[in-house]
Amino acid sequence: MPCLVFQKWIEIVTGISLPYSAVLGERFYIGHFGGIIINANAVIGDNCNISQGVTIGVSGLKEKRGVPTIGNNVYVGANAVIVGKINIGDGAVIGANSLVTKDVLSHTTVLGVPAIKINDHSSKGYI
């Protein structure tokens, strides 16, 4: 019970919901305050960088229902939403204000609602 109270206090003070059961890689970085929601079952790799307003959550129906698995060295821009039982490849870039509901290949940049591949640029330089 004290842990849950402490977790809620952290959410209120930081504006970040990061449950203890989420799996985070080494050097996970949140660059800005607030509005960040990460599902308790999310898996995020090493050297990932997320901006303010990002949601990593559950979506989908039946066997497609689940939460994302995010690879290493991924950059997620401000206000992006990544939902569903999908994989985000190593070195990917998720552009600001994007809605990602399908797998993203490694070393590609996606942007838009719904997010689509716009180029083969990796996250090098963002991380």
Q: Return the active site residues.
A: 32
Q: Is residue 89 within 8 Å of 71, Cβ to Cβ? A: yes
Phi (first) and psi of residue 64, to 5 degrees: -95, 0
Query: What single letter denotes the amino acid at residue 60?
Result: G
User: Which residues sit opposite 23 in a β-bridge?
Assistant: 43
User: Order of strands across the sheet with 93-94?
Assistant: 29-30, 49-50, 75-76, 93-94, 109-111, 116-119
114 cis-preceded (ω within 30 degrees of 0):
yes
